[in-house]
Amino acid sequence: MSTGADQLSRLVAYGIDDEDLLAGLTGDLAVVERAILDAVRSADPLAADAGSHLVRAGGKRTRPLLCLLASRLGEPSPLVTDAAVVVELTHLATLYHDDVIDSATQRRGVPTAQEVWGNTVAILTGDLLFARASTIGAGLGPEAVHIQATTFERLVLGEMRETVGPAPGQDPVEHYIGVLSDKTGSLIATSARFGGMFSGADGQTLQVLVDYGEKVGVAFQLADDVLDLVGDHADSGKTPGTDLREHVPTMPVLLLRRALAAGTAPEGSAELLELLDADLSDDARLAEAVALLRAHPVTAEARAVALRWAADAVAALEPLPDLPATRALAAVAEALADRSR
């Protein structure tokens, strides 16, 4: 579970340096954390244990943070806390489902739910968390319910498109960016939008926040692709090469395929792709694939793509007033994209 000290440290790491804003956010995130725990409580022991499993494992709480930051562009209402809980519970629901789809064994440094309780319970727990999010969301009003529903639809469609892959003749890199927009950008955009909605923001500001959030989401996931190769397990809670082992499409691999198809890939690239497409269940073979791809130019290129999306997110904020919250939103976008140094 995220503590106040954890959150303060994370906020500072994001580049947020306004003392009043730091103090306010730390307190508000603590309130949100308690509300999330309340939301996953259940009289049923199994539902209580499984539902709180990932909450207690911690997490960055990026979506509640963006909701709270966006709310500081106006006059926040008590509904902002509920909105932050809705977006985090929706996110958690997708993690339970994603881990089953990806056959992941660890999440946030702990065994995934299906490793503990099996696939069926993990899927049903995700469903339960989404139901709890919907119940709380109903108290936010019909517009918020509609936004959450359409967001969840995009999350599901993004997962389906990723599973099916690009259509014949479709550029795989463009297809992948579309997947990331749906799977990650949609909910991050809704997080920022909710913060603005429940602080009295006008339509133009809400559109800015949505545009910002969509771009941040893509940058965030592209940075995760790089972290799968260069990340520290102690920091990320994720074993390096997890995506490679499961043959999940990521930007470095897609760029490698594109370079080979265009005849611009450096020597040894064809052999690397052959290794990546092979069985990587053996730890030594996986480590070799991770090391080779990490050193290949496509990984640096993928990092550069993430940074460009973050820069576009920061540029989207230009119509907003120069406030500590606006500067913090820009800092968060840059930090989320540059976690792979």
Contact 27, 90 (CB under 8 A): no
* Token duo for residue 340: 């792979």
Residue 341 is predicted with a pLDDT of 47
Q: Please give the tally of structural domains in the chain.
A: 1
CATH number at residue 195: 1.10.600.10
How far is 111 from 114, CA to CA, in rounded Å? 8
pLDDT tens, the chain, 341 aa long = 556 667 788 888 888 989 999 999 999 999 999 999 999 998 889 999 999 988 888 788 999 999 999 999 999 899 999 999 999 999 999 999 988 887 778 887 788 888 999 999 999 999 999 999 999 999 999 999 999 999 999 999 999 999 999 999 999 999 999 999 999 999 999 999 999 999 999 999 999 999 999 999 999 999 999 998 987 654 455 568 888 988 888 999 999 999 999 999 999 999 999 999 999 999 999 999 999 999 999 999 999 999 999 999 999 999 999 999 999 999 999 999 987 54
Domain that residue 298 falls in: 4-337
The whole-model pTM stands at 0.93
Residue 218 is predicted with a pLDDT of 98
Contact 294, 230 (CB under 8 A): yes
Nearest to 281 by CA among 319, 241, 318: 241
Q: Which residues contact 53 (CB under 8 A, 6 or more apart)?
A: 110, 113, 116, 125
Nearest to 225 by CA among 340, 104, 93: 340
How far is 123 from 101, CA to CA, in rounded Å? 10
